[in-house]
Chains A and B, each alone.
Chain A
Amino acid sequence: MAQIFSRSADTWLRLGLLVLFVGLTGGLLVALALDRSDYRTGRNWVVEQPLPFSHAHHVGELKIDCRYCHSSVESSAMASLPPTETCMTCHSQIWKNADLLEPLRKSLRESQPLHWQRVVELPDYVYFHHGVHVNAGVGCSECHGAVDRMQLMFKAEPLSMGQCLACHRDPAPHLRPAGQVTRLQWHTDQDRRALGEQLMKDRRIDPRGLSDCGICHR
């Protein structure tokens, strides 16, 4: 009876198994890496807006506080995008004939809101309340980065679930004293952990249960 397997069959089998193993793990790794890539999370990608608003100019140079435009950030879930009226508070006088601002004037003339595009948008199954975070002392730049240096707005952090959880499990080093929350370049020489733990005590922030599923998925 002739041999069923050739002399090299064993080698081919081993090679095949190796290729299968490498292919599967490699494929998985590539998929994981792609899932965390900036392309997927949107990090560092400038979002096109109705007009090229510069946070670097308004926040960095003119020192306008975040809350001037995002006025509901302390009291509601959403920080809120400003209505045309807010822009016109200054631009009714400054740069009032600039071509760049034509979409703004058109919006005012026709009473149609500007369609600002959201740069950071959590999935719909995540409950997030800006007010709670701001009042607890989480600085804007913890999630939004150095907005005062961004000519055009982009997402500075991937804002993955892992990031939310890291802070929820150990909030102390991310907390700031009152009045420093919107200071994007705030810096202290104090030990952030010791400071944060003191602030947690003062504000009665109890970290137990902060990483329960129902805190964000309700």
Chain B
Amino acid sequence: MNGWRCALIIAVLCSGCDDMSRQARIEQQRAGALFENGLSSRQPPVGTVARGQLEREAILQQRPPLTDALLTRGEASYQTFCTPCHGLSGRGDGLVVGRGFPAPPALTEPRLLGASDAQLMHVIAQGKGLMYGYESRIPPAERWAIVAHVRLLQLSQHAPLEGLPAELRQAFEENNQ
């Protein structure tokens, strides 16, 4: 008899359990009840330096060496964040421009060939004219990779013939005859 009673009590208690698929915890990008306005954490006080912030800022100062890996990453990031407006070739003919967004200047135009790395980094982070800043979306190291890819686009469309390897140069000259 006692066994049956125990079983009954356990069954009743179990029916009160949920499967714990939704737990009372604070989650990213979901309103929490800790602070006003649904915030789950506080904004850092003015003037504080977050851990890792100095390292992140140091990355901004020094251009990394132009390696193959950096260019590969730069191409991927450029295609993700820049092509909608600037287009694959940097001429400012992205698909979003085709839908009515005012065309940006070509990244390969002479004025921008002379832009310094720091200027390009600044525009990526803070935006310019109609372009929004991408500071929150693209981390500093990736911005450098994008700058590298922009330089690659610029070079690819202004490369001097003498700079080409002999084979390519020959092929080019044959095609142009």
B-binding residues in A (CB < 8 A): 61-65, 67-68, 71, 75, 77-78, 80-81, 83, 85-86, 88-90, 92-94, 123-125, 178-179, 182
Contacts and interface: CB of A to CB of B under 8 A. Distances in A.
Please report whether the interface of chain B is mostly helix, strand, loop or mixed according to DSSP: loop
B111 interface: no
B101 interface: yes
A93 B80 contact: no
B164 interface: no
Interface residues of B, number: 28
B84 interface: yes
Contacts of B83: 63
Contacts of B132: 85, 88-89, 92
B20 A67 contact: no
B115 to A, nearest CB: 21
A148 to B, nearest CB: 13
Contact of B99 (A75, A77, A94, A179): A94
A124 B100 contact: no
Interface in B76-130: 76, 79-81, 83-84, 95-96, 99-102, 130
Given A67-B80, A94-B100, A62 B95 contact: yes
B75 to A, nearest CB: 9
Contacts of B167: none
A124 B84 contact: no
Contact of A125 (B21, B76, B81, B99): B21
Contacts of B100: 93-94
